[in-house]
Amino acid sequence: NDSGKIEVLGSTYTTDKWTNATSAILSKTGRDLLHQPSHPLAILKEMIFAEFPTFAHYDSLSPVVNTYQNFDSLGFAKDHPGRAASDTYYINADTLLRTHTSAHQLELLAAGKQSNAEILAQAKNAQAAPANERFLVAADVYRRDEIDASHYPVFHQMEGVCTFSRAEIREHLRREAAASATAATTEALNLDLSAAQLLDTTQIGDTNPVQPEHTAEEVAFVAAHMKRTMNSMVVHILSKASAAAAAITDSTQVSSGAATQFPVRWIDAFFPFTSPSWEMEVLFRGDWLEICGCGVMKQAILDDAGMPDRIGWAFGFGLERLAMLLFGVPDIRLFWSTDPRFVGQFSPGQINAFRAFSRHPPCPKDVSFWLPADTEFHENDLMDLVRETAGDLVEGVKLIDLFTHPKTSKTSRCYRINYCSMDRNVKHEEINAIQDKVRDRIVSQLGVTLR
């Protein structure tokens, strides 16, 4: 940026060599899809909020955060690849567009200790327990990524955080031990597995360790509570979709109602801010869907928040993928469409199947270029350049040929850019003009030679 300043949501920031947030991206920060009551993402958000009546609900936290919030507070190492400018939109060296809703974990937990009225006042759910002990955060998040029908550089996540005092956990475990003697198991907790069974059935071990600050029983309790909570949330949301399902895709695999309709599996995972950690997957219409990451919160985060006597779980998941399934939305760009034929199809509190409007013909254009032997090439630089030039007219960008010259060891890459409007007819001249601009920018911004 020439002027050395950029404005995001009314605040001005000084740019530096880290700055890579394009104007195409910055223009999304104010769209506020989660606050449009008839937008599928807002409908899904409200449905999930309703599943957690005792949690505080946050959905208005600014996407502009600092590197401490997004990374350091969560225990990301200084050299963690997630910090790379090739994956993250930086406003400057210390300021970025959050890459995940976990960026708010520490400040929301700590809001209790600091009695941070400004933050606590944003909690939307009055019935909630102390707003810093259990909360949900729904928000837009930003990641540099490839371009296709299921990736978009802005998407939405829902974070869930739930903490317990150690005394409370001890009390539950004591009651559970008493109850299991009479095979009444864990009714009080409404767990589908006892804590002991859970320890057996989940892979807690060397590669997915219990933290030294926790006992195996404490972790079994917290993990069981987390899994039960997530299970019932997913089952409720997916069964709401079943009602609408007849109209979505093929109705043959959809039977009605029962929880067993959506088997769940837990895959070992790794996050810097949880241990043990899992990825939750749900079988939905024949496919295992990766729904979300989750785990037992790193104790250092609770210690830093002034809650060393509490233990907690956290989950984070993307709303778009679930919304695409529930509403039958075939292309992630549609969520950003202002076409009344999209936004007019949905109403608050309802999941109904999207009826596609006429599909406009795709227009593929190839571009090939030579990279000098010693240059580093980050594909995401090309992705942002294309987005910046073509906006939402670009449906996909794919590498279709890669060649290294045997003598000069220069490499050549050929990308196919698929232009296709999701909502209007586009003239060939318009696409050609965009493609010319893309080609010019590839030369001027990436320093390569067109073939």
Residues that bind ligand PHE (CB under 6 A): 100, 102, 159, 271, 274, 293-295, 314-316
Euclidean distance between CA atoms 234 and 317, whole angstroms: 11
The angle that helices 428-446 and 379-390 make with each other, rounded to 10 degrees, is: 140
Question: Which residue number, 111 or 226, has a Cβ lying nearer to ligand PHE?
Answer: 226
* DSSP helix/strand/coil, 323: helix
By beta carbon distance, the residue nearest ligand PHE is 316
- Report the nearest approach of ligand PHE to the CB of residue 121 (Å): 24
Question: Which residue number, 296 or 448, has a Cβ lying nearer to ligand PHE?
Answer: 296
Question: Which residue number, 297 or 386, has a Cβ lying nearer to ligand PHE?
Answer: 297
- Report the nearest approach of ligand PHE to the CB of residue 260 (Å): 26
Question: Which residue number, 102 or 163, has a Cβ lying nearer to ligand PHE?
Answer: 102
- Report the nearest approach of ligand PHE to the CB of residue 79 (Å): 19
State phi, psi for 14 to the nearest 5 degrees: -85, 135
Question: Which residue number, 103 or 422, has a Cβ lying nearer to ligand PHE?
Answer: 103
Question: Which residue number, 151 or 170, has a Cβ lying nearer to ligand PHE?
Answer: 151
- Report the nearest approach of ligand PHE to the CB of residue 298 (Å): 10
Question: Which residue number, 169 or 294, has a Cβ lying nearer to ligand PHE?
Answer: 294
Angle at 12 between CA 10 and CA 17, to 5 degrees: 135
Residue 231, C-beta contacts closer than 8 angstroms, at least 6 positions apart: 192, 264
DSSP 202-221: S--BTTBPPPTTS-HHHHHH
- Report the nearest approach of ligand PHE to the CB of residue 228 (Å): 16
Q: Which residue has the tokens 């409404």?
A: 190
- Report the nearest approach of ligand PHE to the CB of residue 416 (Å): 29
The 3 state secondary structure assigned to 93-128 is CCEEECCCHHHHHHHHHHCCCCCCHHHHCCCCCCCC
- Picking from 42, 8, 39, the residue whose alpha carbon sits closest to that of residue 25 is 8
- Report the nearest approach of ligand PHE to the CB of residue 107 (Å): 15
130 in Cβ contact with 112 (< 8 Å): yes
Euclidean distance between CA atoms 312 and 300, whole angstroms: 11
**Six-digit token pair at 111?**
């809001």
Specify the DSSP class assigned to residue 333: G
State phi, psi for 2 to the nearest 5 degrees: -65, -45
